[in-house]
Every structure is written in C-alpha cells, then in structure tokens.
Chain A
Amino acid sequence: MRKISALLTTVILMVALVGVVFAGGQQEGGMEAAADDDTIVIGHTANNVGIDSYQTTHDRVWRETVAAMDGVETVQLDAGGDVALQLSQVEDLIQQNVDVIAIWPVNGDALVPGARRAQEAGIPVIIVNSLIAEEGYEFVEGFAGPNTYQQGVNGAIAMIEALDGEGQVVDLMGLPGYVTAINRSGGFHDHIEENAPGIEIIATEPTDWNRAKATEVMENLLVRFGDEIDGVYVADDNVGIGALNAMREAGVAGDIVMTSACMFGEGYDAMEEGLLYSSNYQSPAEDAINAVEMAVAVANGEEVEFWNYFETPIVTMDNMDEFERPNF
C-alpha cells in the first residue's frame, strides 16, 4: 500500500510540477494551438538569450515587434549555447511547419546540416546576427545582422589613428569558435597587418564574453607585458569594461588606448570619461527589427537581398553626441 501511495504522490507531484512550469513559463507572442493559414509564423531559435544584455534585449524587441504586427506570430526558442539543442529546435520548428525559420547560430559550422534539412523540408531559412559558414550560404535565403568583419576593421582604423601607426596591442576576443568573435578579431588583425606595419599584436586571448574573465585575462596580460601594452582591442564593451577594471587597478586606465567592436551602455559612459577611444554603435533593437522584417518578407515569398546588414556606425569621442546612450 505504501508503494502505491508513494507512486501516486510521484505522479501527482510530477504533473503539478509540469503544470507550474507551464504557468510560469508561457511566453507572449507564441502559439497556443496550430495557427490558421493567414497568420505568418516565424520560428526563431536564438544562440543564448541569457548570456548578456544584448541578446536579451534582442529577444525582447523581437517579440514586441511581432506583437505589434498583424497576422504574424513567433515561436521563440533559446538554444542556450548548445549546438545539439539548436539542431533539435530546428527539427521541431520544421515539424511545427512554421512559415520561416530564423536562426541565430550557436556555431556557424555546426548549423549547416540543420539549414540543409530545413531547405529540404521546404521551409526558408534566414540567419540572424551571426553568420553561418560559407558552405551553408546555398541553403539559406540570406543574412540579417551586423557586418562584424567590418566592425573589426573599424576598430583597427581607430587604433591606428590613436596610436599614430606605432605600438603594441593586445586583442581580447569573444568566444572561441563563434563566428562573430572570429570576424571581429579577424577584421582587426587583417586590417592592422595590411595597413600598419608599425603596430604589433602581441597577444590574443578569449574572454567568452564574460566580464570577470576579461578582467582576469587583462590583469595577467598587464603582468606579463607591463607597460609594453599601448592599446587593447576588445570584442565588445562588456569585455572592455572588464579590461578597464584591470587597468584601473593597475593604475594605467588612461594610458592604454582601447577600441571596441560593439557599444554597450557602460562603454558609452567610459567613452565620456575618455577611457574608450572608439566603438561601433550596434543596436540590438535595430538588429531584431531588421531581422523580423526580413523574416516576414521571406515568409511572404518576396524577393530579398542576401546581405541585409544594418548600420553599425563607428562612434568616437568626437561624434558621440550624435548617439543616444545604449540602454543595455
């Protein structure tokens, strides 16, 4: 008898558990049941919504944009940085027969088979924010996002200007293997090598987009190279603030030039204090809206450009007044 009551308790608890999770987790803008034929359903699987504020804002604006549109709905899935999970999510979206699949790749190489599968199933795919590998271009309708390679180039241009073409710099990368990180770093390296023989990149270290890690890495680099470091290039302002923490504690905050590939709110503040030389203005809101518009267009069967970059203008201390402080 005890076993049966224990079993019964288990089943009841599990059902209650799942029920609570449902109640808590239901999202807006999603499907309650199979959508009728007039509604466009976008299936969106994002890299890792909880990893930083940019991604979170992107996700929020995406939903708000869709909610404001008539006849459009979105299924928001979060891959949590897991490539296998993202593939599963693509499969699930195919199964749910959405009208278009929008993917922010966890990894541009690993996504190629998933994109191929979607194409075979007859569902168009667009890539959002971070590129898919070249082999995958033939399976997707296009890309909507920032030109991250160009951002790296911008960072290099600013660095050359700030250092007058001479000096030693370190590169604090994002997440190893991730296309955005690779492009931002690659653009920087390429441009420096081609245009500034007087500048040497003495170290390149990953930070996983994590501010604490960035602080630690910068600290260690400062010990290793001391005052040989003239400039630091960071993959985004979040990493930059981490590096700044380390530089502040070492007392070299104003002496080392910092250029960044992507602006965050705190980077804007740092730029006002003169601690950040340049960054690129990349609004997650614009990013999301740009992508949603492309997704809807594709779902409607319209012709679209393959490359749908949105502007990420360079911001420096001179022109920063033209820009609003980012709210993330």
Chain B
Amino acid sequence: MNVKASQENGSGSGGDVLTASGSRAGSAVRSFFERQGLIVAFVVVVAFFSIASDRFLSITNIMLVLRQVSILGTIAIGMTLVIVAGNFDLSVGSLASLTAVVVISLHDVIGPIPAMIVTLLVGLASGAVAGILVGKLRLNSLIITLGFLAGLQAITLIYTGGRYSRIVAPEETWFGFIGRGFVFGIPMPVIILAILILAFSIILTRTVFGRHVISVGGNPVASRFSGIRDGNIIMLTFIISGGLTAVAGIMLGSRLMAAQNYLGQGYEFEVIAGVILGGTSLQGGEGNIFKAFIGILIIGILRNGFLLLGLPYYFQWVAQWVIVVGVVWLDVASKRGKLLA
C-alpha cells in the first residue's frame, strides 16, 4: 500500500513556488535519498531487534505492535494534515483523554452508538474552535493548541470530578469489539487504521481539497492569490484532526472499557515525533500519511523492542532523540546536498 502525497512545485522549504533545484538527474538522486532516510531507519531498527530477540518477529508480536500503534497512528493522520497545512496541534493528547472519557461515561447512559456520536461531535467541535482561532483569526497555532492542551485536560478533570469512568457490564455490549476484536486474525483497531490511512492518503493526494492543503502549507500567500480560501482550509484540517482524535479516543476507550483522566497525556509529542520522522516537513507543504504511519511504527517498535530485550523503558527516549533528529537531519541534508548549511 504505497500511497504517497504528490508534491507540487517546490520542496516546501518555506515558500518557494519556483524550484531552484539543479539538473533533473540531481533532483532524482535527491528524492531517492529523501525516501531512503526513513526506510533505512525502519530497516535498521527492525533488523536490530530481530537479531537481538527471537520473539520480535513472531506474528503475535507484530500484531501486538500494530495494535499498540493504531491509536497514535489514527491521531497522526490528522496531525499530518495539520502540519502539511503549516500548523501544529498540541491538543491531541488532552483531546484523546477527553474523548475516551466521554464515550465511556456516556456508554451506560445513552448507549454505545449515541455515545460515539456525541464523542465525535466533541472532537469535531474542539477542532472547529481551534480551527477558527488559527485559520480565520490567524493566531499562532503552537500557543493556541498549547492553551487547548491545558484547557481540555482541565475540562476532562472538571467533567469527571477526578473519578475515572468505566462501563459497568463490559461483556454485555458489543462496544468492546472496536478495541479488542479480531477480524481474520487481525486486530480491529489495525483494520480501522488501515482504512483511515488509505482514505486520507487518497484525500490528500487526489482531491482538490488535498491539493489545496499542500498549497496552503507550502505558500500561503500565493495560495490566497490563486483564490484558495486558506482560512477555511486550515480550519478544516483542524476539524479533521479533532475528529480523528475522537476516533482514537473511542478506540482507546473500547480497548480498556474504562477511562482515566490523564490517559492521553504526552501523546502529542509521540505523534509529532512520528509524523516528523515520516518526512512531513514542519515548514508545511509536504507530507505523506503512510510515511507518517511508518514513523509512528518505528517509535512503537522502539518501545516494544526495548521491553522484549529487558532493557529499561527509558532507553527508548534517548533512542527516539537520536533517531528523530538524525533522520530529519539526513533528510534535510540530502535535499540541499550537504551535511551542514
């Protein structure tokens, strides 16, 4: 499943509509290396852990890792869109906590389907408010979503009064199937993730909306002059991000059949790290949803792998540091042809 986001002109390095890259051969070589950075990292990591632990490549473990990353992977899809359009969304962790709490707490009150609908609405609403502030009022997304990070977590705590939420009779509802079920041996969350990756990859690369997102991120001024309503586009990316985070919250709640208030704390960092690892440029205008998923997968593999090896969990953080900065550096370096500027 190799769906890539096609790139408009320019490499997204801050607004160059006219590319100044060298010969065709030169740029072909360059884009070959661009793709390789992530794949090299992936191969190295997988190879390392396969050699170090014989259980790593077992079907059970592979399914396990895939299911573990499906929550973050779902959020990463929305995050990719937001970053491609040139912004950040740091609120996803708190929103994941809130949506998981909402779906679980409402499940016994109004039933699973209505609870899921309300949860989706909560996610979309949060995304809409953020989208209006960032897209229409043109406020700085880093600070705004940082504010949402604090505010949404506070709302979660106030809503539950600090208590955790749970479903009283987990065996009597089908709701658990979303997070715990298997279809032909594949965990349900993985299937949901795969569908979403496919759908949004197509949206990003083959629809007008997708092209507009890329254009707005790559060069907002030029986009505006070509008649694209960039404020609306940005707002839509945030709404999608909020909606997908709500889906992730539902999957999370379904997995646990309960929800604690700080469930999603710290998610935003892992998701952004994964998306960046996947080659999405923070300048905007460039990104690939499938590669973002690979980035998330690498981080998930690190976590799983270190545990399999019996190494302390905190080693993975240092590994993340090295890999993320290293891969992005190589990516950037290969684009300009040299290591240092």
Contacts and interface: CB of A to CB of B under 8 A. Distances in A.
Interface of A: 24, 49-53, 55-57, 59, 203, 205-206, 210-212, 215-217, 219-221, 223-224, 226, 238, 241-242, 245, 248-250, 266, 328
B262 A56 contact: no
A92 B163 CA distance: 27
A215 B258 CA distance: 12
Contacts of B263: 210, 212
Contacts of B258: 211, 241, 266
A215 B256 contact: yes
A53 B255 CA distance: 19
Contact of B256 (A53, A57, A212): A212
Interface of B: 53, 55, 58, 60-61, 64, 68, 157-158, 160-164, 166, 180, 252, 255-256, 258, 260-263, 303-304, 307-308, 310, 313
Nearest to A211: B256
Residue with the greatest number of chain A CB neighbours at <10 A, chosen from B157, B161, B164, B308: B164
Contacts of B166: 266
Contact of A212 (B61, B180, B252): B252
B162 A220 contact: no
B260 A210 contact: yes
B308 A223 contact: yes
A205 B307 contact: yes
Nearest to B58: A223
B10 to A, nearest CB: 37
Q: Which 8 A-B pairs have the closest CB atoms?
A: A56-B162, A220-B307, A50-B162, A223-B61, A50-B157, A56-B163, A224-B308, A50-B261
Given A219-B68, A224-B307, A52 B164 contact: yes
Contact of A249 (B161, B180, B313): B180
Given A219-B68, A249-B180, A211 B55 contact: no
A216 B313 contact: no
Residue with the greatest number of chain B CB neighbours at <10 A, chosen from A24, A51, A219, A248: A219
A53 B261 CA distance: 10
B52 to A, nearest CB: 12
B260 A211 contact: yes
